[in-house]
Amino acid sequence: MTRFALATVLLIAAPALARDEPVPPAIKIGAAVSCISTVGMRSEVRSDRVIDFTVAGRTYRNTLPQGCPGLGFDRSFAYRVPQPRLCDVDIITVLQSPGVSGGASCGLGKFQPIARPRRGR
């Protein structure tokens, strides 16, 4: 019984522990935009609220208006858009492993162009 309770606590705590990683710092460069192209787009989930998108060599940070449960833990999501662009009015759905089932669905925020600070030598 004790082993089962401990395993349950660890399973429940794992997503919370994964979200404790700090979001890398970024420098805002220019005004935020409402939409970005999905052509050649790459994404990197930073937390339950932050996703960095790279398009044509430029990086945009999207801070979701609300936390998206499971996003920082599973670090993958899906979306459906009618045109080859992702906008702040679109919804993403967390893809949960194993089996890649759908999890929480969450709205996006504005796409803020960013630069990553250089590391000291």
How much is the average pLDDT of 65-87?
A: 95
Quote the CA–CA distance of 72 and 118 in Å, as a whole number: 24
Residue 73 backbone dihedrals phi, psi, to 5 degrees: -85, -50
Average pLDDT, the chain: 85
* Residue owning tokens 């929480």: 104
What are the tens digits of pLDDT across the range 4-15? 333 333 334 444
Percent of the chain with pLDDT over 90: 70
**What pLDDT is stored for residue 118 in this prediction?**
79
52 and 59 Cβ atoms separated by less than 8 Å? yes
* Residue owning tokens 């089932």: 101
* pTM passes above 0.85: no
How much is the average pLDDT of 20-37?
A: 93
**What pLDDT is stored for residue 99 in this prediction?**
67
Count Cβ atoms below 10 Å from residue 33 Cβ, excluding itself: 13
Query: Could you state, in order of their start, the residue ranges of all structural domains in the chain?
Result: 28-115
Two structure tokens written together for 25: 């710092």
More confident residue, 116 or 41: 41
Quote the CA–CA distance of 27 and 52 in Å, as a whole number: 13
